[in-house]
């Protein structure tokens, strides 16, 4: 591929939260930045569940990478699926295309983990990309449509049963949003079925939902969900996901729609470079986020973990990926300028948030714990603040306000798979 001659080549794989931050931190550095992604857009993953439940449309939470970087003259975008890295030749491989690098940043994020049961994916799609969200939306809306035309009451009940596997923030948010669709949005739209009869089950293997939050907030979230009509099943390990339902260690639930929100594993970037990885596949990096023995390669975000077992764990969340991206961008810029950054990466944790339906959220910031309406406002403002582009902030705020006031969800379109 053509490259600008003479200047160091910084190649970033992955235009997620971490990768975009590296590119932006290198905006003024005398390097050529190439950012490679398999998608043409950057996705705001925290709001994927709103696309999956028809509150927002895909373009509200995804922006073309080219358009975000259009004013950054030293950056170019390559849409390609990276398949490997030749560390000896220092090239990134994307099928037959080779992209040379002097500095390489691996920011390829994570993907669903079915704990060794990849065959469950068909029956239980997860939520990681815009495509996933559209597929989940399609399945949820189709289930109501099919139930409307079915005569057999048992089959109708099965079609109107929705199981969400995993009681972390995504599972809690999905369960609350589906309950809202069934209870409010669709309640007057059908003639033969009553959407309010839908059964929504949130299944969690551990003893409580939102296990990383303080127990008080977990209890609050569970009670709020139950008030919305969601059945919360804790201590319920899933042993099989099938087309006709979910098998638990303590029972079976017949259903048509299963949504997987139970686990993630890192992208295969560690294999590309032959680096040591932890059990989740994350590359073990040194204190400057460099790959040990390869000072020109960095790994950040969901695809990296600090190698030092004594280091405080860094959560797999957007602010962590952004902080790592900014740090590595500055480090590369300093190295190119001939100076040396000696400080190590230090993660700063700001807050934990999860929304529970349309007017409730749980928030923890240090010793401050917020619930209910106040928490929901805090959650909404935090998400709108992080959205890229004034237009998107405006559109998202407007859509939220509209669906809040009217209970309607504007993006209720069933698309082909």
Stretch that binds ligand FAD, among 39-47, 67-75, 225-233, 326-334 (CB under 6 A): 39-47
Q: What angle do CA 167, 216, 248 make, to 5 degrees?
A: 25
Stretch that binds ligand FAD, among 14-22, 97-105, 223-231, 393-401 (CB under 6 A): 14-22
Bridge partners for 93 per DSSP: 84, 98
List the one residue out of 203, 143, 144 whose CA is nearest residue 175: 203
Q: Residue 82 CB, nearest distance to ligand FAD (Å)?
A: 4
Cα 283 to Cα 305: distance, rounded to the nearest angstrom: 6
* Coil, helix or strand at residue 353: strand
Tokens 């939260």 map to which residue? Answer: 17
Tokens 């405006």 map to which residue? Answer: 394
> Judged by CB under 6 A, does residue 109 bind ligand FAD?
yes
Q: For residues 282-321, which are near ligand FAD according to CB under 6 A?
A: 301-303, 316-319, 321
Q: Residue 332 CB, nearest distance to ligand FAD (Å)?
A: 16
Cα 157 to Cα 245: distance, rounded to the nearest angstrom: 12
Q: Which lies closer to ligand FAD via its Cβ, residue 44 or residue 245?
A: 44
Q: Which lies closer to ligand FAD via its Cβ, residue 164 or residue 318?
A: 318
Bridge partners for 368 per DSSP: 365
Q: Which of 18, 167, 171, 195 binds ligand FAD (CB under 6 A)?
A: 18
Stretch that binds ligand FAD, among 95-103, 104-112, 178-186, 363-371 (CB under 6 A): 104-112
List, as one string, the DSSP characters of 16-56. SHHHHHHHHHTTTSSSEEEEEESSSEEE-GGGHHHHHTTSS
Q: Which lies closer to ligand FAD via its Cβ, residue 23 or residue 255?
A: 23
Cα end-to-end span (Å), the chain: 34
Cα 113 to Cα 121: distance, rounded to the nearest angstrom: 9
Q: Residue 280 CB, nearest distance to ligand FAD (Å)?
A: 13
Q: Which of 26, 31, 35, 36 binds ligand FAD (CB under 6 A)?
A: 36
Give the number of residues in contact with ligand FAD, rule: CB under 6 A.
33
Phi and psi at 207, nearest 5°, equal -75, -15
Q: Residue 311 CB, nearest distance to ligand FAD (Å)?
A: 18
Write out the H or E segment, with its range, that includes residue 111. Answer: strand 110-112
Parallel, antiparallel or unpaired: strands 361-365 and 75-79? unpaired
Cα 204 to Cα 260: distance, rounded to the nearest angstrom: 11
Q: Which of 29, 107, 179, 270 binds ligand FAD (CB under 6 A)?
A: 107
Tokens of 251: 């029972």
List the one residue out of 312, 408, 319 whose CA is nearest residue 358: 408
Q: Residue 301 CB, nearest distance to ligand FAD (Å)?
A: 2
Q: Which lies closer to ligand FAD via its Cβ, residue 323 or residue 403?
A: 323
> Judged by CB under 6 A, does residue 14 bind ligand FAD?
yes
Tokens of 389: 């582009």
> Judged by CB under 6 A, does residue 37 bind ligand FAD?
yes
> Judged by CB under 6 A, does residue 34 bind ligand FAD?
no
Q: Residue 283 CB, nearest distance to ligand FAD (Å)?
A: 11
Stretch that binds ligand FAD, among 8-16, 25-33, 148-156, 205-213 (CB under 6 A): 8-16
Other Cβ atoms closer than 10 A to 226: 13
Q: Residue 45 CB, nearest distance to ligand FAD (Å)?
A: 3
Q: For residues 61-100, which are near ligand FAD according to CB under 6 A?
A: 81-82
Out of 121, 145, 155, 173, the active site residue is 173
> Judged by CB under 6 A, does residue 50 bind ligand FAD?
no
Cα 124 to Cα 414: distance, rounded to the nearest angstrom: 18
Q: Phi-psi category of 163—alpha, beta or left, where left has phi over 0 and alpha has psi -120 to 50?
A: beta
**Residue number of the CB atom closest to ligand FAD:** 16
| Active-site residue flag, 296 | no
Cα 230 to Cα 246: distance, rounded to the nearest angstrom: 17
Stretch that binds ligand FAD, among 32-40, 148-156, 234-242, 408-416 (CB under 6 A): 32-40
> Judged by CB under 6 A, does residue 166 bind ligand FAD?
no
Stretch that binds ligand FAD, among 35-43, 55-63, 134-142, 368-376 (CB under 6 A): 35-43
Catalytically active residues, by annotation:
173
Residues that bind ligand FAD (CB under 6 A): 13-19, 36-39, 45-46, 48-49, 81-82, 107-109, 127-128, 169-170, 267, 301-303, 316-319, 321
């Amino acid at each position: 591929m053509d490259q600008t001659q003479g200047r160091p080549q910084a190649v970033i794989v992955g235009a997620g939260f971490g990768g975009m931050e590296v590119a932006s931190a290198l905006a003024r550095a005398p390097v050529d930045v190439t950012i490679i992604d398999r998608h043409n857009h950057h996705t705001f993953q925290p709001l994927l569940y709103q696309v999956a439940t028809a509150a927002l449309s895909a373009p509200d939470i995804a922006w073309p990478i080219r358009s975000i970087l259009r004013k950054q003259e030293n950056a170019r975008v390559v849409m390609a699926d990276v398949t490997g890295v030749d560390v000896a030749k220092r090239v990134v491989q994307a099928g037959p295309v080779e992209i040379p690098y002097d500095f390489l940043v691996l920011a390829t994020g994570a993907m669903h983990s079915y704990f060794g049961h990849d065959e469950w994916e068909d029956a239980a799609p997860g939520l990681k990309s815009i495509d996933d969200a559209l597929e989940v939306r399609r399945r949820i809306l189709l289930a109501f449509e099919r139930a409307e035309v079915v005569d057999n009451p048992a089959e109708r009940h099965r079609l109107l049963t929705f199981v969400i596997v995993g009681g972390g923030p995504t599972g809690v948010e999905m369960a609350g949003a589906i309950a809202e669709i069934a209870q409010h949005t669709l309640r007057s739209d059908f003639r033969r079925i009553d959407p309010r009869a839908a059964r929504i089950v949130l299944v969690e293997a551990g003893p409580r939902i939102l296990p990383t939050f303080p127990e008080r907030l977990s209890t609050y979230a569970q009670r709020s969900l139950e008030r919305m009509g969601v059945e919360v099943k804790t201590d319920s390990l899933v042993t099989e996901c099938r087309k006709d339902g979910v098998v638990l260690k303590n029972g079976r639930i017949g259903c048509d729609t299963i949504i997987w929100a139970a686990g993630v594993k890192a992208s295969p970037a560690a294999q590309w470079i032959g680096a040591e990885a932890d059990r989740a596949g994350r590359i073990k990096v040194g204190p400057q986020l460099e790959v040990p023995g390869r000072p020109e390669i960095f790994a950040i975000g969901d695809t990296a973990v600090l190698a030092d077992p004594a280091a405080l764990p860094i959560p797999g969340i957007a602010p962590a990926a952004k902080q790592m991206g900014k740090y590595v961008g500055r480090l590369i810029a300093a190295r190119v300028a001939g100076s040396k950054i000696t400080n190590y990466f230090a993660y700063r944790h700001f807050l934990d948030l999860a929304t529970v339906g349309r007017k409730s959220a749980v928030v923890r910031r240090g010793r401050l714990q917020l619930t209910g309406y106040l928490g929901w406002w805090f959650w909404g403002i935090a998400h709108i603040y992080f959205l890229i582009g004034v237009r998107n902030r405006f559109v998202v705020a407007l859509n939220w306000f509209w669906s809040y006031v009217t209970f309607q969800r504007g993006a209720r379109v069933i698309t082909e798979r």
